[in-house]
Structure formats: structure tokens, C-alpha cells
Amino acid sequence: MKNIKSILLALLVFIMAAACTIDERVDPNGASLNSVLTDATFTELNNLVTGIEARMRNGFDVYVTATGTISRELYLFDADPRNLTDLVGLENDQGENRELDNNSFYLTSPYNNRYRVIKNCNILLEAVDNASVEVTEANRNGYRGYANTIIAYELLLVLNLLDENGIRVDTSDPDNLGDFVTKEAAFTEIVRLLDLAVTQLGQAGSEFSFALTPGFTGFNTPATFTEFNRAIKARVEIYRGDADAALTALGESFFDLDGDLSIGPKHVFSTAGPDILNNLFKIPQQSGDQIIANNDFINSAAPNDLRVQRKTVVRDDAVSLGGFSGTHETRLYASSTSPIDITRNEELVLIYAEANIMLNTAASLTEAVEALNIIRTAAGIGAYGGTVDQAALTTEMLDQRRYSLWAEGHRMIDLRRYDRLNTDFVVLDTNIDPDSGEELSQVIFTQFPIPLADTN
């Protein structure tokens, strides 16, 4: 049975501590699917929205650590050796390099959770079409615009993993799933959904009759949620290499060259049951279950880069695991309830720089330098003083993305987009076999395989 078909069709919703108050007459964990799909009330629809936002967080930590390890920006030192041996393709006892497992947690966790969110969005879309008469067309368009934006975002994360292997984009009917489509076809569908959502959000009188968590403060109306949608579209268009489309999307987003770089929607967490914690937070100085910065991330940083100081810290004692070692550990999050950015103005400023570099005119390169200097100044490393041409600025832009977006799930995709996900551009930490004393070879993977359950 196909992997997505095996995902439970039950409503995968639960209450987040910071979410809107839920009418107690309905149990969101035990609601009947049939009752939701037929004559749904505001309460039932809103429970679905709550569950969608909550589920978006699940497996995201694995997405970050798996892609981050492949791109060698970090290592996860924990009890499961596959987080190192598999993801770096480490040479085994038979002298063969390990392959990525198509049925291992580092793939199935982020993959399955993304499609669970998409399934819940599909349920919401169907429920909205058949909702109670009290749900107006303005209300329906708000739900539709929200759901289609989230579907597009979740599909993008899946595509980031599988890349040229392609993904399924048509999953609305679990008994008749669409085929895997090419990377370009997937991008086309993602853009279509984002644009459809903007149309729905912009319909006259469109309303959000649901509450989002504080993570979406400032982005919780149709108009402001549209700005989030356009930010995601800008990311998609820059991935596709369409600079003009990226700049157009930025102009409709919350992008602000002079604004607060930290502004943007976030995943939020709490200690209240049955909520979850931010699993990318790690207890300081512990020897197990720790995210360790790649040594080259530390060694190649500009002197006194505030991003390194804010995101990592020197360990009391250097740590080693499986032949790898590191001196710095994560401090990206202050606690287990710290929010995780979905996107923020800092990324949008970097997208603006990248799009202008792509245009490669004298004026656009000047714009790119100005944008990069905003990032550099915020990092305390001063203005850019290098060559102002497309090649040099591309390297500079990728370097600034490396430090601004460290351990946020971007590095593997960024290097791959520029054909730099290889040993010409990625410094491998030496791994010495403790038994033989010989260096073990590694592999830099460029994409994840299609999960086993989806190949049957």
C-alpha cells in the first residue's frame, strides 16, 4: 500500500496551548471524519486549522538535522549512529560507502509528516465546500486560501528532500493517488497553489473566521497572510531561477530592506500537554543528543561574526562521536519552547540580493551589494569590500546565507542549486577509524530517495 494511503484519515488535530479557545462540546481528537466532511460547523473547521498548524512542526527537527548533516553544516550527536554514518555516506567495514536508507526515520519522519499536513488541508478544503450554511463564502475563501498556502509550503519541503526524484502533488484522493511528477512540474504546481490561495484570500470580503497561534501574529488576516504566501513564493521562484518573479513576489510580501530582520511567521511550542517542544533546542554542554557545528562553519567565519556567537558556543570539552568531533554546539534556541522561524525578513533580504545578482546588470549588482551589506552590518562584520561581479557576489551571497540561516534547513538546498554540493565547495571533517587509524571516505549526497513505501 502506498505510503500516503497508509496515513490515517482521522483528524490529526490537537490543541496548542497558545491557540484559540476550542468549544468544549467537540472533542477534536475524536471527531467523526464524516461529520466534518458533511455540514461542518465553524468549530469543526477551526479545529482542523488548529491541527494543521500544530502538525506542521512535527518532523521539522529531523528535516533540519538530516539536510544539515548532508551539507556538513552540523552533526547530530545522539544515540542513533545512522544520523552520522548514513547521512555522510561513511565507509563501512567492507570498504563500501553507505547509502541513504529509503525506509529510515531521517527520511520517513519529515516526509510522512508533510503529507499528513497536506491530508488535513485536503480534508479542510472538502469540509469547507460542504460546510454549514452559517459559513459564508467570505469565510470559505479564508479557509481555502489558508489551506492551499500550507499545501504549497509542505510540498516545497518534500521537494527539497527528493529533488530530481520528483514528488506526488495530487494526493486529494488517497485511493487514487497521482503519480510522481518531475521537479519542474512540482514547482509549477506549488506556484499554482500559491497563486490560487492569493486569489482566494483576496476575494471581496474574504475573512479569517479562525485564530492562528501567536507565531502568526501580524500574519493572521487574509491580507497579512497573503504577505506570508508571497514570501514563500519568492523562495520558490528563486529556487526556480526566476529573478523577476522572485522580486515581484517580494514586493507583495513583508520584505523590508529597512525593517526588523527577525519579523516573520514562526512555529511556536509550549510545555502544556498535549503540545510539543522545540526538539532543535539542546541542553547546554550535555554529551549526548547534541547538535554540533561543523568545524569549517566555525573556522571560515569572518572575525567577530555575531551570528556565530549567537547561534553556537564553545563546549567546555570538545566532543567526539563515530570518528567525528567538534568544539562548538548549538545555541540557536534559548529553550525548549523557543519559536522556530518559518521564514523571516532576513531571508527575504537575502532573496532580494540573490535575485539582483541573477539579473546581473550594473544597477542590480549595486542593489545586491546594498542588501548584502544590511545583512553584514547586522552581523557586525562591516560592508562588503570584494569584487562586484556576478561570480564573486554569488559566492558572497551563499556565504551570508550560510551564516544567517545556519541550522534552519537551507544549506543543502542552497549548495545544490549552484552545483556546489560537492567536495569542491564542502569541507569534510576528517573521520579516523579508531581501530585501524585510517581515514574513512565519505559521500556528499545531493537528494533523498523515494521512500520505500511509495515505491511499492
Any bridge partners for residue 319, and if so which?
A: 326
Q: What is the pLDDT of residues 33-71, one digit of tens each?
A: 888 999 999 999 999 999 999 999 999 999 999 999 999
Q: What is the pLDDT of residues 111-170, one digit of tens each?
A: 999 999 999 999 999 999 999 999 999 999 999 999 999 999 999 999 999 999 999 999
The answer to whether 51 and 45 have CB atoms below 8 angstroms apart is no
* Sheet strand arrangement including 312-321: 74-77, 290-293, 324-330, 312-321
- 34-37: long-range contacts at Cβ-Cβ below 8 A with a sequence spacing of 24 or more? 36/11, 36/123, 36/127, 37/123, 37/126, 37/127, 37/130
Percent pLDDT > 90 in the chain is: 88
pLDDT at 72 over 70: yes
Q: What is the pLDDT of residues 337-358, one digit of tens each?
A: 999 999 999 999 999 999 999 9
User: Rounded CA gap, 102 and 82, in Å?
Assistant: 12
The pLDDT, as a whole number, for residue 8 is 36
Q: What is the pLDDT of residues 165-215, one digit of tens each?
A: 999 999 999 889 999 999 999 999 999 999 999 999 998 789 999 999 999
User: Rounded CA gap, 98 and 90, in Å?
Assistant: 6
E strand intervals along 302-439: 312-321, 324-330, 340-341
The continuous run of DSSP H or E covering 298 comes out as helix 295-299
User: Rounded CA gap, 143 and 126, in Å?
Assistant: 11
The pLDDT, as a whole number, for residue 32 is 66
Q: What is the pLDDT of residues 289-334, one digit of tens each?
A: 999 999 999 999 999 999 999 999 999 999 999 899 999 999 999 9
User: Rounded CA gap, 405 and 346, in Å?
Assistant: 9
Domain 3-60+102-268+343-417 fold is 1.25.40
| Mean pLDDT over the full length of the chain | 92
> Which residue in 298, 330, 313 sits closest to 78, CA to CA?
330
Classify residue 59 by its DSSP letter.
T
pLDDT at 4 over 50: no
